[in-house]
Amino acid sequence: MPDTMLMSRLLEAAKLHVPFDGWSETTLRMAAADAGIDPGLIPAICPRGAVDLALAYHDAGDRAMLERLRETDLSARRFRDRVAFAVRLRLEVIEDRELVQRATTLFALPPYVSDGARAIWRTCDHIWTALGDTSDDVNWYTKRATLAGVYASTVLYWLGDESEDSARTWEFLDRRIDGVMQIEKLKSRARGNRIVSGLMAGPLKVLDRVHAPRGRHQTGMPGRWRNSN
């Protein structure tokens, strides 16, 4: 049986234990027992232990979001509304808020901060890619970094939101998206200003060499640098 199928069984069993024991080794051990998985297989399924289980849960949420996005016609929506819809959809596919709360606690621990950051980055990359982003320059990074900030803050707000149907969260999300759009408008105006664009000519020339990851060019951190010679 492929490891992906074993991971799915493990995840389903773990969901009953996470609210009580978090994304922990205890949860991992009990989930394996409940799912009838040989303990000897656990290192192959989750080499780093419970953190791999938590990351698998996050990735499963991304897949569910993408499936829902593929089923939805967004052509009539403004682009900012498409982005907001995708973020909202990512939260709506979550079955149990406590599972995310426990994951947030885990990824706040120093050994796992980078894992949590990468998971959020992947989510935002999935969203931009699904919405048809074709940028190949530094904008590839700024779009994802900006959305990561919006997504992370919205998740934290949502975790404490007790309003009906999370109405306050969606209002918060709309405000954050509007704030980002205002920044984009300011950037556009700055590029159109001859004085500002002149002052920024040097830095922008350097940024022109930054490109999005592409196949074999991606090593370590995502991206590539083009030599101007």
Q: At 182, is the pLDDT very low, low, confident or very high (cuts 50, 70, 90)? A: confident
| Structure confidence by residue, pLDDT tens digits, 116-141 | 999 999 999 999 999 999 888 888 88
Sign of the torsion formed by the C-alpha atoms of 156, 157, 161 and 165 = negative
Task: Phi first, then psi: give them for residue 31, nearest 5 degrees.
Answer: -65, -40
For residue range 28-85, what is the model confidence (pLDDT) as tens digits? 999 999 999 999 999 999 999 999 999 999 999 999 999 999 999 999 999 999 999 9
- Residue 187's pLDDT band (boundaries 50, 70, 90)? low
Residue 188: which pLDDT band, with cuts at 50, 70 and 90? low
Question: Is 182 inside any structural domain?
Answer: yes
We report the CATH number of the domain holding residue 170 as 1.10.357
Residue 165, domain member (yes or no): yes
Cβ–Cβ under 8 Å, residues 72 and 47 = no
- Inside any domain, residue 30: no
Does the pLDDT of residue 2 top 70, yes or no? no
Q: How many domains, the chain? A: 1
Domain that holds residue 80: 71-201
* Domain assignment of residue 226, yes or no: no
Q: From CA 50, how far away is CA 28, in angstroms rounded?
A: 6
pLDDT at 109: 97
CA distance 131 to 104: 26
196, part of any domain:
yes
In a domain, 123, yes or no: yes
Is 192 domain-assigned? yes
∠ Cα 101 107 109 (to 5°): 115
